[in-house]
Amino acid sequence: SSIIAVNADTGKYVWHYQETPGDEWDYDNTNPLMIADLNLKGKKVHALMQAPKTGFFYIWDAKTGKLLSAEKFAPANWASKIDMKTGRPVENPDVRYTVTKAAIVQPAPLGAHNWHPMSYSPKTGLVYIPVTVSTTGFQSADPTKFTMKERVYNTGTISSSPEITALYAKPGAPQRGNIKSYLQAWDPVNQKEVWRFDNEVYGASGTMVTASDLVFSGNANGQFAAYDARTGKQLWVVPTQASVVAAPSTYTIDGEQYVAIVVGARGLPKGVERTVQTSANNSRILVYKLGAKNALPTKVVAGASTTSRTLNPPLMSGTNEQVIDGEGAYAKYCAGCHGSNGVADKSIPDLRYSTLLRNLPEW
């Protein structure tokens, strides 16, 4: 959860900064870094900017590593603020967890902003960030009972327990799970949000801003759109017949400008139920230009999960105890990919429709 600066010519260490000392929430620091010249308090600064998992937007002097500002750009309960004298987060003591003490933490391990590229416009002075809002529970596993297992994350932590459920039930507790996502325009000089465009479902896409004040971004509902970089007004939107995760790119050929985007479902988070058929995982590169006449196929290729088929499971023959045991086994070994409560996302087969449901030996 740190940044290290080295001399590009010699490889010599220059400075470092640790964002999350004693990290217990998977706030690794692999998010994009961005360089820009900013006017901060009347001075021009060659600044380094980052919007990491933690939910704080950091600005450093790129040459010295001096922390210049750090304010929340998304909901975060793990720390109230960043101490500008020490550079350390002022932690909420309730988010540290043990075997007997559970915690609810926001953002969840995938963060308020993950690897998805953000973009900066020198014209507007704004940074365009794909923000996600999520919450998770943490509790340490009992070391006397913990055993390493294949096909699971052996982190020694628990994300679901009676203690965690009780915390979510308290008045004012944050909503559980992956909550929402939005495209945010952030003013790095004044450290505040200027506008946002809410997505209908959880799932971020990288952003691109052009010199003509257009911001391009997609969403998990299978849409690719352009927005006014100054106001956030959606100016253009097209279906992509797949989730959009990557950042767009632009280029010119013989004086014509093109915008390209790679579409297709992400690896994580799994277990996010598809809401529309157009968000199936039809992975491909889509390229657009003004005046183009081509169109996507009118027939959407069916993905791994579909709402058009009829559920026809075999009659349940297990006891209540077996059902409870099976639910626990599914949550531990299967739900991470095949979806909560058996409802698959956009890229993994939906087991509710599997022909193996009636073939127990194969299952």
Q: Which residue among 26, 142, 198, 325 is the active-site one?
A: 26
Amino acid 191: pLDDT: 96
Check the CA dihedral 72-77-78-83 and report its sign: positive
b vs e for 304-325, b when ≥16 Cβ sit within 10 Å of the residue's Cβ?
bbeeeeeeeeeeeeeeeeeeee
Q: How far is CA 164 from CA 99, 154, 159, 315, in A?
A: 12, 19, 8, 33
Amino acid 259: pLDDT: 98
Amino acid 310: pLDDT: 73
Amino acid 97: pLDDT: 96
Identify whether 26 is a catalytic site residue: yes
Q: How far is CA 358 from CA 16, 155, 311, 323, 355, in A?
A: 57, 35, 13, 17, 6
- With 0-12 / 13-18 / 19 or more C-beta atoms within 10 angstroms meaning exposed / middle / buried, residue 244 is buried
CB atoms within 10 A of CB 352: 17
Let me know: does 347 contact 353? Beta carbons within 8 Å.
no
Check the CA dihedral 335-338-339-342 and report its sign: negative
Mean pLDDT in order along the chain per 10 residues (363 residues): 95 97 93 96 96 98 97 97 97 95 94 95 98 93 88 82 90 85 97 94 89 95 95 96 92 97 73 51 90 83 53 81 80 70 65 78 74
Tell me the pTM.
0.85
β 67-72/56-61 pair status: antiparallel
In the chain the domains, ranked by start, together with CATH numbers, are 2-300 (2.140.10.10)
